[in-house]
Amino acid sequence: MPVAQPGSLARRAAAPPRPRAGGSRVATPARPAPQRPRIAMPAVGVGAAPPAAGAAGADYSSDPILQAANQIATRNIGIAEAAAQAARSQALIAYGYAPELAGQYGDANTEGSAKANTFSTLAQIAHNHELRAQQLDRNYGGNLFFSSARGNALGEEGRQTLGEQSAAAAKLQEFLSGISDKLAGVKSSEGDRVYSAEQDAANRAVDQALRYGYGAPGAAAGGAPRTAVAAAAAARPAAARPRVARPRATPAPVYRRQP
């Protein structure tokens, strides 16, 4: 058998291993794609003014999707506030007029309607109180009119009236609290919607600034970034690609002819 030359051994060692008959090729690990660094935008709350272009970030106040989200939120909150006010007025009118609730009627029309409602909750309680009192007068007439028994009965009837008024007031306040909680839930939901739309608009503005160089006028020419966001992205070092270790090739054995 001929003796392999040293040069051929070096070439074999440097070359990648060839697939053997019936074997499989050695798989080289895939290199992960480098990721583009993201520029963190400042958090913008509901109702806060967006940052100006070229200062803390790109200007996204004219984003059409954000403007549509603001319009929808304003409309939904307005509808919820009108419905809450109508429900509150109806509940107060149905309850009737009470001096301790003078600040909750809202306007003179609602307060006047509550006073004029002869079938309100308070009016019904007062009517039942008068009927029970008249019945007690008939039951304890004559010599019993000034008796202690009639006095005790009138006291129990007055206690019953106060209990009915207290229960009606508690029920009214519970209903009004439910209206306020529902309105607060609508405002919170719409606020979350606007906040999410602002974050999406900010990300779109950053992507456009990085891709097209949109930003403040008067920037330097020659390919330099024209926004503060693009400048920060250009100054940031590129992400280093991970080094993948390749398997070393095993040199082929050398066979020498025996003398």
Quick: pLDDT tens for 131-142: 999 999 889 988
Looking up tokens 């403040």 gives 216
- pLDDT higher than threshold 80 for residue 238: no
Question: Under 8 Å CB-to-CB from 201, ≥6 apart: which residues?
Answer: 60, 63, 65, 66
pLDDT at position 54 is 40
CA dist., res. 78 & res. 81, Å (int) = 5
CA dist., res. 71 & res. 62, Å (int) = 13
Question: Under 8 Å CB-to-CB from 88, ≥6 apart: which residues?
Answer: 104, 106, 176, 179
State percent of the chain over pLDDT 90: 48
- pLDDT higher than threshold 80 for residue 121: yes
Averaged over 173-202, what is the pLDDT?
95
Q: Is 22 left (phi over 0), alpha (psi -120 to 50) or beta?
A: left
Buried b (16+ CB within 10 A) or exposed e, 24-41: eeeeeeeeeeeeeeebeb
pLDDT at position 18 is 55
**Backbone Cα Rg of the chain:** 42
Say what the pTM is: 0.57
88: nearest Cα among 75, 73, 101: 101
CA dist., res. 199 & res. 221, Å (int) = 30
Averaged over 24-30, what is the pLDDT?
50
pLDDT at position 48 is 42
Q: What is the mean pLDDT of the chain?
A: 76
Averaged over 235-251, what is the pLDDT?
58
- pLDDT higher than threshold 50 for residue 101: yes
pLDDT at position 59 is 74
Q: What digits encode the pLDDT tens for the residues 194-229? A: 999 999 999 998 888 888 765 544 344 444 444 454
- pLDDT higher than threshold 70 for residue 161: yes
Are the C-beta atoms of residues 183 and 84 closer than 8 Å to each other? Answer: yes
Q: In angstroms, how far is CA 100 from the centroid of its own chain?
A: 38
Are the C-beta atoms of residues 197 and 24 closer than 8 Å to each other? Answer: no
Q: Identify the band that residue 146 occupies on the pLDDT scale cut at 50, 70 and 90.
A: confident
- pLDDT higher than threshold 90 for residue 124: yes
Are the C-beta atoms of residues 112 and 226 closer than 8 Å to each other? Answer: no
